[in-house]
C-alpha cells in the first residue's frame, strides 16, 4: 500500500506541476498528450514500471549523455545547490554527473574526480570540495552539493561528508550537461535520477527532508527538476521546475541517448 501511495504521488505531482508550468492544452487527437506553447507534445505520465521511483537514465560511460537549458541558473559565485540520486557502475577515472558551464571558461562540475566524489571548477580542475571516501558502486546513493557564497558542502545519503572554503568562477552558466563535460569526455557510467538544480543554497535539514520525495508544489529557487519519468516525444525529458530547462538526450541522436530504465532509487 505504501509503495502504491508513493507511486500515485510521484505521478500526480509532476503532472500538476507540468500543467501549471507549461500552461498547455490537450494535444489534438490525443487523450493523453499535452500541447505546450512551444508546440511540443508530452505523453504524460509514462507507462508504469511497477515501482514507486519511476524511471532513471542509464548511461553507458562510452558515448551517452544529455544536455539541458540553463534558464534561471545562478552564477557559480552565487548561492546554489544540486541534488540527485546516482548509482555508478564503477568509480574509476573522472566522470561528470552534472556540469554547468560557460564554454570552458567557467562553471562547475560535480561527479567523480579521479575516482573521488567531488565538485571542481571547469576552468582549472582544482577540487573545490571532495568526499573523504567515495560511496561504493552498484547501489543507489543520494548526492548533494551546496554553496552558500562562502562554503562548499558535499552530502552523501543526507550526511555532510566534506566542507571547504574556496573561490569560484564568476560567470553564469550558458549550458548544462548530464553525464559528461562536453559530450565526449568525462562520460558517466551508471544511472541517474531525481536531478534538481537550485539558484539558492539548501540547508542540511532541507536536503534530508526532501531527498526521498519530490518537492511539494512550486519551490522558490528551483530552476531545474528532472525525474525522467515522462515519455516525451523526440528524446527529451521535461523540466518540472517550470523554468523550461528541458533535457535533450544525446543531442537527438539515438545512438548517443542514455536509456530510460526502471529506477531503483529509494524514493
**Quick check: is 2 in a domain?**
no
**Quick check: is 255 in a domain?**
yes
**Quick check: is 18 in a domain?**
no
CATH number, domain with residue 105: 2.60.120.200
Residue 48 CB neighbours (<10 A): 11
| Surface-to-core class of residue 4, CB atoms within 10 Å of its CB (0-12 exposed, 13-18 middle, 19+ buried) | exposed
**Quick check: is 129 in a domain?**
yes
**Quick check: is 31 in a domain?**
no
**Quick check: is 12 in a domain?**
no
The pLDDT assigned to 16 comes to 39
The pLDDT assigned to 233 comes to 57
* In the predicted structure, residue 248 carries a pLDDT above the cut 70: yes
The pLDDT assigned to 201 comes to 96
Bridge-based pairing state of the strands 116-121 and 236-237: unpaired
* In the predicted structure, residue 47 carries a pLDDT above the cut 80: no
Average pLDDT of span 13-36? 36
As beta bridge partners, residue 236 has 232, 248
Lowest mean pLDDT among 29-43, 86-100, 104-118, 140-154: 29-43
Q: Which domain holds residue 258?
A: 55-262
The pLDDT assigned to 52 comes to 77
Place of cell 573522472: 94
pLDDT tens per residue across span 51-96: 678 899 999 999 999 999 889 999 888 999 999 999 999 999 999 9
Lowest mean pLDDT among 87-91, 143-147, 182-186, 240-244: 240-244
The pLDDT assigned to 168 comes to 84
**Quick check: is 153 in a domain?**
yes
In degrees and rounded to multiples of 5, residue 103 shows phi and psi of 45, -130
Contact 122, 101 (CB under 8 A): yes
pLDDT tens per residue across span 194-236: 999 999 999 999 999 999 987 766 789 999 999 999 865 569 9
3 state SS of 19: helix
Average pLDDT of span 37-43? 38
> Considering its fold, how many domains does the chain have in total?
1
**Quick check: is 251 in a domain?**
yes
Say how far apart CA 238 and CA 24 lie, in whole Å: 13
Query: pTM for this structure?
Result: 0.82
pLDDT tens per residue across span 121-150: 998 889 999 999 999 999 999 999 999 999
How confident is the prediction for the chain on average, in pLDDT?
A: 83
Amino acid at each position: 500500500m505504501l509503495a502504491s501511495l508513493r507511486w500515485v504521488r510521484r505521478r500526480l505531482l509532476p503532472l500538476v506541476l507540468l500543467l501549471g508550468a507549461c500552461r498547455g492544452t490537450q494535444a489534438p487527437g490525443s487523450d493523453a498528450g499535452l500541447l505546450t506553447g512551444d508546440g511540443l507534445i508530452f505523453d504524460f505520465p509514462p507507462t508504469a514500471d511497477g515501482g514507486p521511483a519511476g524511471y532513471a537514465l542509464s548511461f553507458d560511460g562510452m558515448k551517452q549523455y544529455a544536455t539541458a537549458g540553463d534558464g534561471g541558473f545562478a552564477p557559480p559565485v552565487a548561492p546554489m545547490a544540486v541534488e540527485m540520486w546516482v548509482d555508478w557502475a564503477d568509480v574509476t577515472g573522472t566522470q561528470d554527473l552534472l556540469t554547468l558551464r560557460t564554454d570552458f571558461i567557467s562553471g562547475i562540475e560535480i561527479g567523480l574526480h579521479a575516482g573521488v566524489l567531488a565538485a571542481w571548477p571547469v576552468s582549472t580542475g582544482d577540487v573545490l570540495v571532495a568526499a573523504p571516501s567515495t560511496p561504493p558502486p552498484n547501489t543507489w546513493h543520494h548526492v548533494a552539493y551546496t554553496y552558500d557564497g562562502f562554503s562548499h558542502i558535499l552530502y552523501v545519503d543526507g550526511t555532510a561528508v566534506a566542507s571547504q572554503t574556496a573561490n569560484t568562477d564568476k560567470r553564469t552558466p550558458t549550458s548544462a550537461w548530464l553525464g559528461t563535460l562536453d559530450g565526449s569526455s568525462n562520460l558517466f557510467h551508471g544511472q541517474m535520477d531525481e536531478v534538481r538544480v537550485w539558484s539558492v543554497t539548501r540547508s542540511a535539514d532541507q536536503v534530508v527532508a526532501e531527498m526521498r520525495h519530490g518537492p511539494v508544489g512550486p519551490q522558490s529557487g528551483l530552476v531545474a527538476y528532472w525525474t525522467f519519468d515522462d515519455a516525451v516525444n523526440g528524446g527529451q525529458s521535461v523540466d518540472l521546475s517550470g523554468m523550461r530547462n528541458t533535457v535533450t538526450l544525446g543531442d537527438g541522436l539515438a545512438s548517443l541517448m542514455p536509456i530510460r530504465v526502471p529506477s531503483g532509487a529509494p524514493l
